Every structure is written in structure tokens, then in C-alpha cells.
Structure 1
Amino acid sequence: MTLTPQWLDELRARTSLSTLIGRTIKVTKAGREYKACCPFHNEKTPSFTINDEKGFYHCFGCGAHGDAIRWMTDQRGLPFMEAVKELAQAAGMDVPAADPRAARRAEAAKGLHDAMAAAQSFFEEQLGGIDGGDARAYLQKRGISDATRRAFGFGFSPDSRGRLKTALKDFGEPMLVEAGLLIDPDGAEPDGGNARKRDSYDRFRGRLMLPIRDIRGRVIAFGGRIIGAGEPKYLNSPDTPLFDKGRTLYNIDRASPASRSTGRVVVVEGYMDVIALAQAGFSDAVAPLGTALTEHQIERLWKMVEVPILCFDGDTAGQKAAIRAATRALPLLRPGHSLAFATLPTGQDPDDLIRASGAQAMDAVLGSAEPLIERLWRHEMAAAPLDTPEQKAALKQRLRAVTDAIQHPDVRAHYAHAFRERYDALFFARREAAPFQPRTPSGSGSRWQRDKRGNWKPPIPPVGTEARAIGVSGMEQRLLRAILAALLRHPEQIASHREMLSALQIGDPLLAQLLAAMISASFRKETVETQALLTILGQGELYNMAKGMLRADAFTLTPDRMTTDPDRLARDLEEAVRVMAQGPELEAALEEATRRFKDDVSEENLAEQQRVRALKADHDRRLAELAQSEDIV
């Protein structure tokens, strides 16, 4: 069809802009113009003006400006042609048709729309009559108010095979079948020979009815919920010339303008969820119609907002639906356009949550929606165990398949980079971007920090901490020197034992400085060599101490196995460091158990004191064995 500038000017001239806008917001006469509070931004003092003579609106607050068509596209969210068609219908103008076939299709569609509008009136009338008593009781039980019932157009289809057919007989059976209102049991099969043609009958019987509307608010289909026993529980209209369930979103006509003010659109699982949210004040919710979210529906959502929120149930079915939507969106992703995911508590739908905890609980759920990449990462992480190298490699392969599905090169590159960072941080020791947080016996939670030169410095214990330090002599100090000597010879082991090493409280200041320098160096590289470590230490006491430890006759750990069996060295180091770290902790635990027993002489406290004392004795015995071992020269 061709819309000439002259035809569009005539359409604007026949449209009263103040009347059109006044259907949505309150307008007030102000001289030759009208004023209102702007619907495009929040304001208390009207700065939105409407000029009927010139045919435009303008907001002096946010700059919104346009004519009748622009109002329909920006505020109502209609596509351009839909906006033109609705204005033309109100103005009594025919939209030009490109050819006779298009004109015939438009006329046929007009007849179907009229039939659907008549069916909606019939269903609403039945809900208010005698037959609609059980349906009204169901609405009352669900807590649906009369205002909500009217806003969403609830109706009722009597449990009869021909009541609607009789009421709409003027439209003719073929049109009612085409509209999906009647079922033709013979379908398109020809009437052969003496075969008797069976009568068509009402599709919806004994159901609470909900109209499904297009973006312009016209009824294009119905959804019906059974009242009483029967299957299926929910029944939707079939696909028709007016209705394509894969392209339609329930409540799109109301949610689209609402999303213009909220900047949000929420996708829930079904139309009763949409209605419960609307009644609680969430007017920007939509739902697919009995199918998983399709590519067409995702694109339609993106015309409303760049990042719609998908809010599904927390049960298995709801989370599977969320992942299906996420997977379907991957090839469509483009800069700025994505999805977010909010999860309802398990066992609750929006109505349950709002009834139990109020609208603020729903607000909290929507406010905690996670980005698409987070949902995909968590799903792939939980898809299979990650205990073996093969399973870890399988995770990497699954993540690669996710990124390969993304068509846009820039988006795909960012996803690949983000997944690679998370994967490396999960399975590899290098954590330079996220500094290691050592465990401290005092429970202070202090973090390692960089100094002005970028070197890592150990945490400073809080004032008042009296954790016992490793002595400057005796078995603990002997074992400590052996540990440090082994780490100097095998610096690649530092990162593996860094957490327990960081927890050690060392009484000898020079040994403490040497350990801190070694740990700091391990943050710089995934693997640091002995010579590089000596260079970092520089000249001075630390350097001389380290060189002394590296002499062949100096303290070391398992010298006869340190080169031929690195796995054994790693296990010996882990045990030695663990034994050293446990000493102060066990002493503190024994002191606490003894104090409790003194304060309360009970069998329970006595048993706890004896248990900790036995652990401390075992620890001291193992410490002596390690410190006096022939492996420590």
C-alpha cells in the first residue's frame, strides 16, 4: 500500500489530538492549548502541552514531541502501520490497498475482527448471567476484583455445543470456523457420496474465558480455563488468520504503553500470572501462550525494552523454560539487547508470592534478576560434575558451544572472553585480578594488599590479637626452615600451599619477611623460578638467608625425593604446613575448652576438653616426628 503525504496529512487533520491523548492521561484546557503531566517522564507540575490547531504535543521538561501517529508509536508502542490503521478507523478513513487481493484480505480480516468482538460480548454477558455463577465464584476465590475482571474482559462459555454458534449465526459458519470459534469435525475434507456431513460445534464449552488481544487492543483469540472437572485445563484458540501464537504475547496491548514509563517488561509463564501482577500494580507483564518463548516474541519484547526480565517459577519446569529461552535468544543477541532472569521461590507463582509477602517481595525478585551470561554460566556449571580433568574439559566445550551460537561477532567475542576468565579463575592458580584472601587464625578476614610498588603485602593482624607465633627455636622453627628451604628449591609449590602459609604466625621477623616475600612473588606469575625469586629478594639479610638455605647441607625437606617425585614433595609440604598451622589453633581451642570446663564442670565440657587435648597430643607427636626426621638434614 502507498501512503501519500496528502493522505497522512488528512488523517492528522481528522484526528483530535487532545481527545486522543485524553483517553490515556488527564488533560486540562489552558487557553487555546491543553496541558497535562508528561507521560514520558515523572513530574508533578504539568509541562506537557497539546496544540490541536497545529496538531502536535510538546513537553518542555523532557523534550518529547510529536503528532498523533508519533503518540501511538511512542506512548502506545504500536508499529507505524498499526498506528495508522487504528487512527484511520477512528477517523472513518480507508487505508489505501496496494491491489485488489490486499483489499479482499483486509475486508476478510475486518469480518473476523467483528466476529471476535461479538464473541467477546457474548462471553462477557454469559459471565454475568445465571450460567456464570461457578465462574464468578472461581474469580472470587482467586481474589480477582471486579475492576480487574472488567479490565481484562473475563467472560464465560456455557457448557453447550451450540450456544455461541446460534448467537453469532449471522456471521456464517465458515467465518466462525476460520476464527477458531467453532470446530468443523469434517475439516476440509469433501463431502463424498452419501456421507452425511457432521455439524460444527462450539470450541469453548464450560470455560472461564479470557480475550487475547493484539497490539491495537483488538480481540484476536481466546484462552479458556475449565470450570470444574475436565481436560485440558487451559485451552487456547488455534492459529487463525488473526492469531499466530508464536508471534503473540498476552497483554501486549496494555504492557507496551506501561513499559514506556517503567522502562521494563516482565515475562511470566501464563496469563493468570499476568493478571495477578497487574492487580498488584505491575502493569508491564506479558506471557507467551502455551509455548516456549519464540524468536519472534523475543524480537517483539526488544521493541519495548532492550533487556526484558524473564520471571519463571523456581521449580524444574520453570528453570528449563528459562534455559530454553536463553538458548533461543543466543543467535539473536546484538549490542545492548539481552535478557535478564528473575527466579520465583520454589513452589510459588506470582500470585502466591504477592499474597504471602506482598508486592514488595515481587519487587525484590525482579530487582535481583541476573544477566543472561550469569544464568548460562550457572546452568553449564551445574550440568555435570567437575571433579576430573575430562569433566572440566567438557565444561569448556559446553561454554564454547554457547558462544558459537551467538551470531554477532562483537557480542560473541565478549562472551568468549568472559567465559574464559571465569573458567581460568575457577581451575587455575593464577588469581592476579582477584587477590587471594588468606585464612587468619584470628578470624580477622584481613586481605593481602599491594604496596606503592605493586608488591603483595601480608595482612596486618588487628590490634589486640594475641595468637601464639611460631617460636624462634625448637621443633617448630626447625620444621619451618625445612619448609622454606623446600619452597626456595621448588617455588612452583608456593601457590598451591599459599592459603595455609599465609595463616602462619612467625616469631622470627626475618623468616616472616622471607615467607611474605615468597608469597608476594607467587602472585606475580603462575610459576616463579628460584633465581628469579632470589633476584626479587635483592641483596641483604633476606638474600643471604635464602642463599644459605639453598646450600646442599642446609635444612630441606625430603632431599632424596625432591627432584624425582614432585608429587611426593607436594604431599609432604602440605602435611608439614598443615601441622605447623594447626599448632596455634589447637592451643587456642584447648584454652577455650579448659575455660568452659572451669566455668561449668559438666560431663559434656569435660569430654570436649579431653577430645581437644587428645588432638593436641597427636599434633605434637607428629610435629616431633617431622622435625626429627632423617629427611631434615
Structure 2
Amino acid sequence: MTLSPAFLDELRARTTLSAVISPHVKLLRAGREWKACCPFHNEKTPSFTVNDEKHFYHCFGCGAHGDAIRFLTDNRGLPFMDAVKELAAAAGMEVPAADPRSRERAERQATLHDVMADAQTWFAEQLDGIEGAEARAYCQRRGIGAGAIKRFGIGFAPDRRNGLRKALERHGDDKLVDCGLLIRVEDEPKKEPYDRFRGRLMIPIRDQRGRVIGFGGRILGQGEPKYLNSPETVLFDKGSSLYNIDRAGPASRQAKRLIVVEGYMDVVGLDRGGITEAVAPNGTALTERQLELLWRLDPSPILCFDGDSAGSKAAIRAATRALPMLGPERTLSFVTLPDGQDPDDLVNSGGRDAVEALLQTPEPLVDRLWRHERDSTPLATPEQRAGLKQRLIDHAAAIADRSLSQLYRDEWMERFYALNRRERPAFEPRGQQQSFQRRGTWVRGKGFVPPEKPLEEATRTIARDSVGPIEARAIAAGLATFPDLIAEEAELLAALPFADPAAEALKQRLLDAALHQPSLDSQAVKPILAEARTASLLSEVQRGTGVVFSFNRGGADPAKSRADLKAVIELLGAKREIASAMLEAQRRMGEGDEAAVAEQHRLRLAAEDLTKRLADFSISD
């Protein structure tokens, strides 16, 4: 039975080589590799290395070299197919069933690699020929010298319909079509195939083993598309490959970083500046499979995109696509180039030093997404701030690693509330000490601590700003039922004094518990509610509310009840902000500010709307 190279490559990629070898050889970590005494010959000093990223082992003493399959056949004596089946079972892969056509497919794929190699050679020859003069001039203008042309295998496709076809006619049209080098007109079978790439600078795309699998063709003059890429073929899956990965992989291990840029010429431009550890997607946004490839080389690749709107959007698309896959050793960082510049421009203007200056301080993913969401819309109204908050919560929820998800959420909520506190003074009465910080402070272990000011003044403030006894008891009881909301709304709850003493005390106990245990849920809150004092408070707030809110109603859908409780808390917070803003508008009216009259009217309408929206969540007993 013959297995396809594609299957074997995927099997190697899914197998952690050190995990296969470690049960039989004592491995010691040595940087990004493993070292051991060679199992194939007697030695006292370790010379046997295992490289998980390259998927091979090598002994510098006896020369033993191979992959996971070779280790099982040479060390354990397994037949080839038994070794493959064992590794496939561990990787969750199905070994292809015996098929007479398998050998033909494998041979065909191997032949197509030969075709692509011959095509790259021919394109390189044309760049040096008479027809390549314009392409050579283009390279000279871009600062691409002979060394870079050779390193990247750059060539030229003459503007002829059958130039490549005639040069590689020994391979036959079918293979050239299968490689994406010729276009066959399906509706006109009698019409001869013709060259796909014409009048373009040809940039070969290689796999990790250095084999040409596709091409990117850059137009030299005006016209569209600017870049023409190979179509999807047996060899080329553009969403699973990265340009320059064959050279950037080894370079990244030496540089201890991996850089991702937008396009082929960006990679070439950085190389011209002496930075060789750069890759690029093949004309598309980064895919999940490409992210996996990046993380095999570096736990935090640096995305270095152009300093324009398109570059910013590409960075955010990559960030959001990466969120579900993040982990303690899998993240992204970002560098934003000066507006209107790409890496090539930066190398031209400041050389390697200019690029290195940016790369020294990449922006973490948590900061990049925060900055994007914070700046994407105005934050002048409670609704706009609520939108920011929800977007951040949604991003955190997209992270599959629950511990990391919680940490992202905590980080963003802390920044959100800090930003919200900075925004509030514009809405507070100037002559009164009404900022959030002066109303009180959230203190670990103590909850919401009121400021030191005369008791009479504090009493008047609480009476005006606090949540009424009936609503307070209902909300406190709701928080005991849905404790996961407490951490989410901690800052807002701390800033909402409850007029009912029992409800306020219960809220403070729950806030304090959530502060020490952010992932508070129904199971985790049970021991807290069982405490004598807390149980007494809960019993008290549950008696005689006078109003039943939708989130307290028996038999209601839990998900809807939780959403309603969240909405009521946030509406009460917005109502409190509007009340403060109305006091400010009244003060300005007293000073003769005519604009304050319109502001007072707008705020009154907003308050009436909030009152109606709150009424939607309550029914009489």
C-alpha cells in the first residue's frame, strides 16, 4: 500500500516527536530542542537532538536521522505500516484504505513537484533574458538585488500565451493544468490551454521543505489584479501555507521571533534590511491553519501590517480569528507602521534600525483589541459605553481556554471601569463632591466604602442616589440566584447604594465573595449563602418585595431572567448618571446658560424613557 506524501506530511505535523521518543529515551530540554544520549549507539555525552518544530531527530555522533515513523521502525522494529497506524491512531487520523489508485496519486503528486521546479527554473531564465528587461528594471527600482532574486527564486513570465506551455511541453498539458500553470477553457474543449501568468514578475511560493507549490505574479505596469496567485491545486492550499516559511522557520529560531507581514514584497523588503524571519499569507486574511503554522515556530508572532485603514482592519481580523485558539503559549503581538508606509518604505527611509525600533515594543493582543474597541465609536452616552462593554465581553467569551478568557475579561473590565470613571466628571455637578471616587471607594475585602464626610450630607446623598428598598431587595435576591453576574457588574453595583440595609449588606457580601473568586457560580455561592448571617439577610430581602421583577418570577426561563437582571442593573446605573447630569444642567441654568435648558429637556426625556424601560421588567404582586 502506498500512502500519499500529503497524508504523511500531515501525520508528521500532527505528531509531537518528543512525545513519541520520551517513553524510550530520557530527554532533557535544551532551548527549543531536546537532548539525550543516543539510543542507536553507546555514548556518555548527549549528542542526540530532537526538534519538535522540524519534526526530526539527529545524532551528531553516529548520524542517525529521521522522523517519528523512522524512530518507530528503527528503534522499536515496527513495520512501516504498523508505525504509521500507531501514530495515526494517536493523532486521531484515519489511515487511507488500500486503493489501487493511491500509488498513482502519490506518483502524480511527486511529478507535479518536478513540474513546478521546472517552471520556476524557466521563469528565472526569462528574467535574465531579453524579454525580462522591464522586470529587471522594476527590481532595480525596488532595491531588489541579484542576491535577493536568487534567494527568493524570483523570475519573469513573458507576455505570451504559450511561452511556458511550449517550454514545458514534455510534461504535457494535463500536468501543467493540474499545477495551475495553464488555463483550460472548459466550455471550449477544442481550444488549446494557455499560460496563466503573462507579463508578470514571478515569485515562487514554497512549502516548509523548500518545494515550489505555487506562484504569485506581480504585474509590472498598470492593470488588475495587481497580484495573481496560483489557484488551489493538489500541491497548493493557500489557506494552509505561508510565503517564505521555508526560510523564515530556521531564521526565527535564531532571531527568537517571527514576523508576519501583508504581502510577498514586504517579506522581500525586510530581507533587504537584513530581517529574514518574516512570512506573509498568500493574498488573503490569516486563516486558522496559518495561525497554527505560526505558533509552531513562535508562541507570539509579531503582526507588522501597513499603517493604513486596510492594515488596521487586517490586524483586527487576525486578532479576532485568533481569540478562540489562544492559550498560555499561543498569542499574537502587533506593530503598527507609520501611516501610509509599508515595510519596504521603512527600510528605504531608515534601514534596519527604523524597523528594529518598532519591533522592540510590539503591542500585546489584549492591548490591540482594547484600543480598537475603545476608539471605534464615541463613548458619550450610557448606551455607547454599554456597547463597548458588551463587545469586550464577547471577545473574552470567544477564548476557549476558560482561565485565559476570565483573565482577558477581568483586564478589559478593569480598563472599562477606569475609563468610565474618567468620563463621569463631565456629567457631575461641579459644586458638589459627586464623582465616583468621592462617593466612595471599592476596597478589597470591604466592598464599597463611603467617603469621610458629615453624616447629614452623606444621608442626603444616599437618599437621592440610592436604589429604592423594593427594587434593592429584588436585585439582591436576583444576584443570589445569578452570582456569575456579580463580578461582571461589580463596579456598577458598588456605585449603586441600596436604600434597604439588608439588601445593601447582602450585596456587599456577594461583591466581596466575587472579588476573591471571579468565577463565582451557583455551586460556588452555596457555602456563602449558607452562612448564618448571609442566610438571614437573604431571607429578609426575599420577604414582601411588593413588586415582582421578571428575573424573580417563578418558572421563568433562567437565561432570560439573567439577561433581565443584567438589564435592570445597567438601566439603574444609567438612570443615576442622568440624575447627576440633570443636577449639573440645573446649576448651569441658574448661571444663565441657555444651552442648559435644552440639555435639561433632553435629559428629562431620557429619564422618562429609562423609567418606562425599567417598568417593562416589573409586574405587581
TM-score normalised per structure 1: 0.57
**1:226 correspondence with 2:209:** no
CA distance in 2, matches of 1:323, 1:142: 29
Q: Which residue in 1 is equivalent to 2:49?
A: 66
CA distance in 2, matches of 1:388, 1:168: 67
Q: Which residue in 1 is equivalent to 2:155?
A: 155
Q: Which residue in 2 is equivalent to 1:173?
A: 173
**1:266 correspondence with 2:249:** no
Match of 2:398 among 405, 409, 412: 405
Distance 1:50 1:154, change over 3 A: farther
What amino acid does structure 2 have at the position aligned with 1:217? G
State the SS of the aligned residue for 2:237.
coil
**1:304 correspondence with 2:291:** no
Count of residues paired in the alignment: 415
CA distance in 2, matches of 1:315, 1:129: 37
Q: Which residue in 2 is equivalent to 1:377?
A: 370
What amino acid does structure 2 have at the position aligned with 1:106? A
**1:334 correspondence with 2:327:** yes
On the 8 A contact 1:58/1:66 being kept in 2, the answer is: no
Q: Which residue in 1 is equivalent to 2:507?
A: none
Match of 2:380 among 387, 393, 415: 387
Distance 1:55 1:292, change over 3 A: farther
Q: Offset at 1:375?
A: 1.1
Q: Offset at 1:245?
A: 0.5
CA distance in 1, matches of 2:309, 2:36: 51
CA distance in 1, matches of 2:120, 2:394: 47
Q: Which residue in 1 is equivalent to 2:145?
A: 145
Distance 1:339 1:55, change over 3 A: farther
CA distance in 1, matches of 2:355, 2:149: 22
Gaps in structure 2 of 5+ consecutive residues: 4-29, 59-65, 72-79, 85-95, 425-445, 447-452, 464-493, 499-577, 592-621
CA distance in 1, matches of 2:43, 2:128: 42
CA distance in 1, matches of 2:42, 2:298: 28
Map 1:12-411 to 2 at 5 A: 65-66=48-49, 73=56, 100-185=100-185, 187=186, 191=189, 197-411=190-404
State the SS of the aligned residue for 1:208.
strand
CA distance in 2, matches of 1:206, 1:153: 17
Distance 1:254 1:73, change over 3 A: farther
On the 8 A contact 1:69/1:84 being kept in 2, the answer is: no
Distance 1:270 1:400, change over 3 A: same
On the 8 A contact 1:56/1:66 being kept in 2, the answer is: no
CA distance in 1, matches of 2:273, 2:385: 45
Q: Which residue in 1 is equivalent to 2:427?
A: none
Write the deviation string for residues 470-509 of structure 1: whole angstroms up to 9, x where unpaired. xxxxxxxxxxxxx98985665779xxxxxxxxxxxxxxxx
CA distance in 2, matches of 1:429, 1:127: 61
Q: Offset at 1:368?
A: 2.1
CA distance in 2, matches of 1:572, 1:129: 78
Write the deviation string for residues 122-179 of structure 1: whole angstroms up to 9, x where unpaired. 1111111111111111111111121111110111111111111011011010010000
Distance 1:279 1:430, change over 3 A: closer
State the SS of the aligned residue for 1:292.
coil
What amino acid does structure 2 have at the position aligned with 1:285? A
Distance 1:72 1:257, change over 3 A: farther
Gaps in structure 1 of 5+ consecutive residues: 4-38, 42-47, 86-93, 192-196, 432-453, 455-482, 494-524, 530-565, 580-633
Q: Offset at 1:572?
A: 8.3
CA distance in 1, matches of 2:180, 2:44: 41
CA distance in 1, matches of 2:258, 2:459: 60
What amino acid does structure 1 have at the position aligned with 2:274? G
What amino acid does structure 2 have at the position aligned with 1:147? G
State the SS of the aligned residue for 1:342.
strand
State the SS of the aligned residue for 2:335.
strand
Distance 1:161 1:374, change over 3 A: same
CA distance in 2, matches of 1:526, 1:69: 52
CA distance in 1, matches of 2:275, 2:69: 25
Q: Offset at 1:72?
A: 6.1
Distance 1:229 1:84, change over 3 A: farther
TM-score normalised per structure 2: 0.58
On the 8 A contact 2:201/2:219 being kept in 1, the answer is: yes
Deviates most, 201-210 or 483-492: 483-492
CA distance in 1, matches of 2:263, 2:197: 19
CA distance in 2, matches of 1:71, 1:55: 25
What amino acid does structure 1 have at the position aligned with 2:138? Y
Write the deviation string for residues 25-56 of structure 1: whole angstroms up to 9, x where unpaired. xxxxxxxxxxxxxx979xxxxxx9999x9599
Distance 1:182 1:528, change over 3 A: closer
CA distance in 2, matches of 1:249, 1:57: 41
State the SS of the aligned residue for 1:246.
helix
CA distance in 2, matches of 1:390, 1:329: 28
Larger % of helix: which? 2
Map 1:610-621 to 2 at 5 A: none
On the 8 A contact 2:57/2:67 being kept in 1, the answer is: no
On the 8 A contact 2:334/2:364 being kept in 1, the answer is: yes
State the SS of the aligned residue for 1:313.
strand
Q: Offset at 1:230?
A: 3.1
Q: Which residue in 1 is equivalent to 2:24?
A: none
Distance 1:225 1:570, change over 3 A: closer
CA distance in 1, matches of 2:52, 2:327: 28
CA distance in 2, matches of 1:212, 1:233: 17
Q: Offset at 1:413?
A: 1.5
Distance 1:572 1:270, change over 3 A: closer
Distance 1:71 1:374, change over 3 A: closer
CA distance in 2, matches of 1:406, 1:254: 31
On the 8 A contact 1:429/1:526 being kept in 2, the answer is: no
Q: Offset at 1:571?
A: 5.7
Distance 1:73 1:311, change over 3 A: farther
State the SS of the aligned residue for 1:334.
coil
Write the deviation string for residues 216-251 of structure 1: whole angstroms up to 9, x where unpaired. 000011111112233222111101000000111000
CA distance in 2, matches of 1:162, 1:322: 40
